[in-house]
Amino acid sequence: MLNSYPQELSTGTNNCADTPKTTLNIASRLTSLVRWYRAGEPLRRSSAKRYQLTPHLCLLVSALVTMNITTATAYNPNVESYKLYAHMKLLDDKAYRCLVTLWRLESNWNPKAKNPKSSAFGIPQLLKMTETNPYKQIDLGLKYITHHRIYKGDTCKALDRHKRIGHY
């Protein structure tokens, strides 16, 4: 049998482990003063030099916050599994992109998200939902969008409504 795809599949990067070193490379952009500070050497510099460190650290913290690498933003590794499950259920890239944005705005894909102003709960933020299994929450959210009189299964219509009035 002839192999129709002889080329190797690629994700576009050399190695996922090398990505932060090659793309971010923050350490090489630090000034010598910041590198000196990170090395843990005793403070032998004048106070003027110490004050020069503050703007550099502020820029570094700002860059880390922009890239969501702070400890305040807890990353849930299961979110990618939830999104993959939703994509397999939809089988349509455009609908999937709309759904990802919609549920990011609603719950940030958190299966434990609670709305303090209503009884909405879970990833799709459905009213009076008691389901705690994230995959069943996704099924219920897609079922809601499918059977809704306005959306009729179109996740982009649900997203448009959310953008207009703040919920779907």
Q: pLDDT tens, 94-121?
A: 999 999 999 999 999 999 999 999 999 9
Three-state SS at 6: coil
Q: pLDDT tens, 30-73?
A: 455 555 555 655 545 554 455 555 565 555 555 555 444 433 34
Sequence-ordered list of residues with C-beta below 8 angstroms from that of 151, at least 6 positions apart, any chain: 145, 157, 158, 161, 168
Sequence-ordered list of residues with C-beta below 8 angstroms from that of 98, at least 6 positions apart, any chain: 155, 156, 158, 159
Residue 58, pLDDT score: 57
Kindly tell me if the per-residue pLDDT of 122 is higher than 60. yes
> What does the block give as tokens for 19?
């990505």
CB 89 within 8 A of CB 142: yes
> What does the block give as tokens for 103?
């549920």
Kindly tell me if the per-residue pLDDT of 139 is higher than 70. yes
Residue 5, pLDDT score: 42
